[in-house]
C-alpha cells in the first residue's frame, strides 16, 4: 500500500491510498476556499456523566446534492470536488464540517471507491483489504494525537440512516474521551472479571454464542459472526476475530487475509434479507476498539457491529418512546429468526 499526503486549498489534510507503489499523485486543489474552521465544543451531562458534542456549524454541511454535484467524486471535466485527482482507489481527508477538530479531536472521511453508484458490498476482495489497511493506518495515526482517547471507524449507508451524501464512504472519529457505550462495556467487563475469578466477558460471550449455535450467521477460520442474544435492532450482527485483540492494529495476517471474504459476504446477505428487487438495505457498520489509555485495554475485544433499522421490506424500526426516553429497546424480530434469515440468503 502506498500513501500519498497532500493538502486541500483550505489547509485540510488529504491522503491517497493506492495498492500499487508506482502510482504518482500530483493534482492540486485550486478551489478558492477560506481556511478551515470548527466551532464545536464538548459538554458534560451532569446526570449521566456522558459527553455531548455541540457542533452548530454542521448545519451548513452539504445535504443531498443534486446529481453531478457530489463532492466525493473525483475532479473531472472542469468540475472540482473535495478530491483533486481525476480517479482514485481509497481517499481519506479531514471532514470539512467536523463534529470534532483541533483540541476536541478529529473527524475524517473515507471514500471507498471513485464509483459514485457502487457500494461497499460491490467492492472486490482486494479493495476491501485495502480499506481494512486504511482503517488500520488511520487508527494508528489518530491514536498518536494527544487529543484522542478513542478511535472509531464506521460507515452509515442509506438516507434512512441519516446519510447526506450517497457516494460510498465512511468516517473515522478520534474522540477526546472514552465514549459512553465503551465505558459501560468496560465496566461490565470488569464486573464479570471480578465475579468469575478473572474470566473475560467478550471471550465468554462469543463462546456461549458458538456453543448455542442458533444465532451463528457464518464462521471462518479466523472470524465468527452472530446475532447477539439480546439484539436491539431487527437485523444485527456482531463480527469477532477468533483471537481476541484490542484494536485493528493487533490483528494478525491470517485474520486480515480472511476479513474481506467474511465481511463482503455479510454485506451482500444484508442486501438480500428482504428479497430480490428491493432497495439496498440501509445499515450502520461500526468498529469497536479499545480506548487508548484504559488500564485494562488489552481485555477489550475488537469487533464490528453491523445493523439495519429496516424491520420488513417497507417498515423501519424507529427509536420511539421506550428507546429514546429510557434507552430500553424493543425488538420486533427475534434474534434467532434474524440469524436464520441471514443464513438463508447466503451466497451460493
CB 176 within 8 A of CB 42: yes
Dist. CA 252–CA 246, nearest whole Å: 12
Q: Find out whether 305 and 315 touch, Cβ atoms under 8 Å.
A: no
How many Cβ atoms from other residues are within 10 Å of residue 124's Cβ? 10
Selecting among 159, 169, 229, 303, the annotated active-site residue is 169
Listed residue (121, 117, 116) closest to 131, CA to CA: 121
Note if 169 is an active site residue.
Answer: yes
Does 303 belong to an annotated binding site?
no
153 is in an annotated binding site: no
Q: How many residues does the structure list for the chain? A: 348
Judge whether 294 is annotated as a binding position: no
The Cα 110–Cα 131 span in angstroms is 9
Q: Are 196 and 189 in contact (CB under 8 A)?
A: no
Interatomic CA distance for residues 217 and 250, integer angstroms: 24
For the beta sheet containing 216-219, the strands, ordered from the edge strand earlier in sequence to the opposite edge, are 2-7, 13-18, 90-94, 106-111, 169-175, 150-157, 283-288, 303-308, 235-241, 223-226, 216-219
> Is 70 annotated as a binding-site member?
yes
DSSP letters spanning 162-215: T-S--SSEEEEEEESS--HHHHHHHHHHHHHHHHTTS--HHHHHHHHHHHH-TT
Per the CB < 8 A criterion, the answer to whether 95 and 107 are in contact is yes
- What gap in Å lies between CA 272 and CA 267, rounded to an integer? 9
Distance CA(293)–CA(246), nearest Å, equals 12
List binding-site positions for Zn(2+).
70, 73, 116, 167
List binding-site positions.
70, 73, 116, 167
Active site residues: 169
Amino acid at each position: 500500500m502506498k500513501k500519498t499526503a497532500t493538502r486541500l486549498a483550505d489547509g485540510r489534510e488529504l491522503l491517497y491510498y493506492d495498492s500499487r507503489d508506482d502510482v504518482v499523485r500530483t493534482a492540486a486543489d485550486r478551489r478558492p476556499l477560506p481556511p478551515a474552521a470548527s466551532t464545536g465544543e464538548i459538554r458534560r451531562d451532569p446526570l449521566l456523566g456522558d459527553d455531548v458534542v455541540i457542533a452548530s456549524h454542521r448545519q451548513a454541511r452539504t445535504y443531498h446534492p443534486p446529481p453531478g454535484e457530489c463532492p466525493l467524486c473525483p475532479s473531472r471535466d472542469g468540475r472540482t470536488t473535495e478530491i483533486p485527482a481525476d480517479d482514485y482507489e481509497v481517499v481519506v481527508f479531514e471532514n470539512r464540517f467536523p463534529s470534532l477538530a483541533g483540541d476536541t479531536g478529529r473527524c475524517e472521511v473515507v471514500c471507498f471507491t471513485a464509483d459514485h453508484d457502487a457500494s461497499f458490498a460491490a467492492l472486490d476482495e482486494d479493495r476491501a483489504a485495502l480499506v481494512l489497511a486504511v482503517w488500520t493506518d488511520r487508527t494508528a495515526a489518530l491514536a498518536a494525537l494527544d487529543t484522542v482517547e478513542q478511535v472509531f471507524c464506521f460507515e452509515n449507508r442509506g438516507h434512512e440512516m441519516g446519510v447526506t451524501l450517497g457516494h460510498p464512504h465512511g468516517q473515522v472519529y478520534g474522540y477526546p474521551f472514552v465514549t459512553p457505550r465503551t465505558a459501560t462495556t468496560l465496566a461490565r467487563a470488569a464486573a464479570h472479571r471480578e465475579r468469575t475469578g478473572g474470566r473475560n466477558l467478550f471471550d465468554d460471550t462469543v463462546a456461549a454464542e458458538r456453543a448455542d449455535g442458533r444465532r451463528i450467521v457464518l464462521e471462518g477460520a479466523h472470524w465468527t459472526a452472530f446475532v447477539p442474544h439480546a439484539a436491539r435492532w431487527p437485523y444485527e450482527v456482531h463480527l469477532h476475530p477468533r483471537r481476541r485483540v484490542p484494536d485493528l492494529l493487533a490483528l494478525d495476517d491470517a485474520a486480515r487475509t480472511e476479513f474481506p471474504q467474511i465481511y463482503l459476504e455479510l454485506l451482500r446477505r444484508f442486501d438480500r434479507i428482504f428479497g430480490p428487487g428491493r432497495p439496498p438495505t440501509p445499515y450502520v457498520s461500526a468498529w469497536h476498539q479499545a480506548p487508548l489509555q484504559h488500564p485494562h485495554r488489552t481485555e477489550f475485544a475488537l469487533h464490528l457491529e453491523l445493523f439495519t433499522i429496516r424491520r420488513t421490506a417497507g417498515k423501519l424500526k424507529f427509536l420511539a418512546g421506550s428507546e429514546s426516553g429510557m434507552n430500553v429497546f424493543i425488538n420486533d424480530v427475534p434474534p434467532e429468526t434474524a440469524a436464520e434469515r441471514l443464513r438463508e440468503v447466503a451466497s451460493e
